[in-house]
Every structure is written in C-alpha cells, then in structure tokens.
A = this chain, B = another copy of it.
Amino acid sequence: MRFTGALTSPRMRQILTPSGALVDEAPMDDALASRLYRAMVFARTYDRKSMALQKQGRLATYAPFEGQEAAQAGSAAALEVDDWMVGTYRDAAAMWMQAYPMELLFAGRTGHEHGGRVPEHVNVLPPSITVGGHMVHAVGLAWAERLQGSSRIALTYFGDGATSEGDFHEAMNMAAVQKVGTVFVCQNNGWAISLPTAEQTATETIAEKAIAYGMPGVRVDGNDVFAVYAATREAVGRARSGEGPTLIEAVTYRMGPHTTADDPGRYRSEADREEWVRRDPIERLRVYLSERGRWDEDWQMRIEEQASSEVERAIVLAESLRAPEPEEMFGAMFAEIPPHLAEQLAEAKAAP
C-alpha cells in the first residue's frame, strides 16, 4: 500500500462568501452574529490603535492581526467562559474574547510584566512568544481537567509556521493517543515572517496533517466567521464529550507586517494583499447583517465609538501602571523568595 498526500481534495469549508452571501446554513442567530461583528470591530480598533501607538514609541514591537479577526473571534466564541485558551503573540482578539483584560494585553506590549497577571477566573495563559512550544500545554491543561472530573476543554492557537516545530507533532500525537479534549486551531495566514506556507510544508493544506495522528482535520475559510464558528463548535463538542482532539485550519491572511519591525515588501507583493482585501472578514458579515436589517451606519458609528473608548480606557490603565519594583522581579520567581534571591534583591536595591 502506498499512501500519498493527494488523497482528498483540499476543499475549504465556507458558509458566508466574501460578498456576504450564505452558501450553507448559518450556525448562529442574528444576536450572536451581531455580537461577533461588534467584537471584530473592537478587535480591529485595538489592532490599528496598537500599530499607531507603536509608531509613537508607546508600545514595544507589535504583531498585528488585521485580516485574522474572524479566525479568532469565530473560534473563541465557541468556548465556554472557563475553558482554557493558549494562544500566541498574534491572538489578542481571541484572548480578549475569552476575558483577558485589554489593559493587560496593552501592559504586556508596553513591556510591563503585569500584563501576564490574568485575573483569577480567566483561564487564558499569557501569550506564547516562542513558536510551537505552547501547544503541548493545551494538551496538559485539558488532560488535567479530565482527571479532575471537569468538563473544561482547552483550545490552542498557532500559525502555519508553528506546524513545523517538533512540539506541534508531540502535542498532536499525545492528544490523539490519550483522546484529550484539546482543540488545535491553526491560523494559516500564508506566512511565517518571510516564509510562505508553500515552503513551510509540502502538503497542500495544514488540515491534512491531522491524518498523521488519527485525528479529524478540518479546513475552513478563516475569514468566514460562520465557518470558523461552526467548525470550532463541533470540535469543542467532541473535546467536551471525550471524543478527543481536532485540528482546525483556518485559512486567512496577515494583512500587515509580521511585526512592526518587519518589512513585508522584502518578501511579498502588494498584489497578493489586494486580493485579500476583497475577502475581508468584517465586511462580509456587515453585508450579511445589513441585508437582514441588523446593521446600519448609526450602529456602526456607535460600536466604533464604544470600541475607541474601550481601547482608550485600556491604554490609559496600562500606561498608568507604575513601573515594576525590584521586589516584584525577584519576588515572582518562586512562591517564596529564596535566600539567594533575597540577597540579590538587596544588592540590586543598593546598586547605584
């Protein structure tokens, strides 16, 4: 028997077309659709504001997610409030939807460790900066919940680039072997910094990698919030009922640079990007809602204002955090400060 990678068509599941037409049953009612629309407007406002703040030197390097709002909002919306989420530097929208406070997202970006201090009831890990290493954490989290008799599951986000790391493989394999309730969401945004997905992997899709683990793999239009939501809801259901993990590939595009330190002009053409402007995740939901009488200019203005003021509130809060004291740096390494760190703290405080 010879297995090859071309066994299945790499068809991508879509429910809402770029022009806002339904091609399948809508997976949610208008109320939830409106809520997701609003969330995506908030997310884009946050993202663009972050880019602007970074240019002003008020944030450190920033990794924008414009274009990926549906992939994040659609998947995050399928979780219960206390499910675990383990995402990356580019997943602020999803994390915020899972109740990671926006001011903490900003705080992290201003270079303040307080940004990682998630509130007690929020089960979201601070964003992973290393690529790949965090997916196994989501396996351990979900496994522990099962052992403790809870029905909480874990969802983890990662990029196309992360699928090349060994830890992706170990996470997928261990989750599948143990039928752990982990949902793997790959936002395939076409690029890992300067490397196009076609040079990242020789497969046509990321979803088919699931086959190597005996795990279902699904490929969805990542700019279609309905398709992302539907696929994630299904995967979350499987995870929660003990049927095991699922890999979801959300096909999307990073509209901006990798980070504010990156110059995409070095490796990709503007034409590519133009193509994706037409597939904007927010615009298609706007058309849909509008056709159903759930959108008008007024509401748009209102939610944009709400978004701006929420973002503003969060920035003010983040920027008014006092600078971390040496006590906090030395005191956060262990539950109790050990003697050598107490000595070093004293030395640091006495230093000129």
Interface residues of A (CB under 8 A from B): 1-5, 7-13, 164-170, 173-174, 176-177, 179, 199-205, 207-219, 244
Contacts and interface: CB of A to CB of B under 8 A. Distances in A.
A211 B4 contact: yes
A210 B5 contact: yes
B1 A8 contact: yes
A129 B10 CA distance: 39
Contacts of A13: 1
Contacts of A217: 2-4
Do most interface residues of chain A lie in helix, strand or loop, or is the interface mixed?
Answer: mixed
Given A7-B211, A203-B213, A203-B214, 9 more contacts: A1-B13, A4-B210, A7-B8, A168-B169, A173-B201, A202-B213, A210-B212, A211-B211, A212-B212
A24 to B, nearest CB: 13
Query: 7 nearest interchain CB pairs?
Result: A166-B166, A169-B169, A202-B214, A212-B212, A3-B217, A176-B202, A5-B214
Contacts of A169: 164, 166, 168-170
Q: How many copies does the complex hold?
A: 2
A170 to B, nearest CB: 5
Nearest to A198: B177
Contacts of A168: 169
Given A166-B167, A167-B166, A170-B165, A213 B5 contact: yes
A2 B212 contact: no
A155 B207 CA distance: 28
A199 B214 CA distance: 12
Contact of A216 (B2, B11, B173): B2
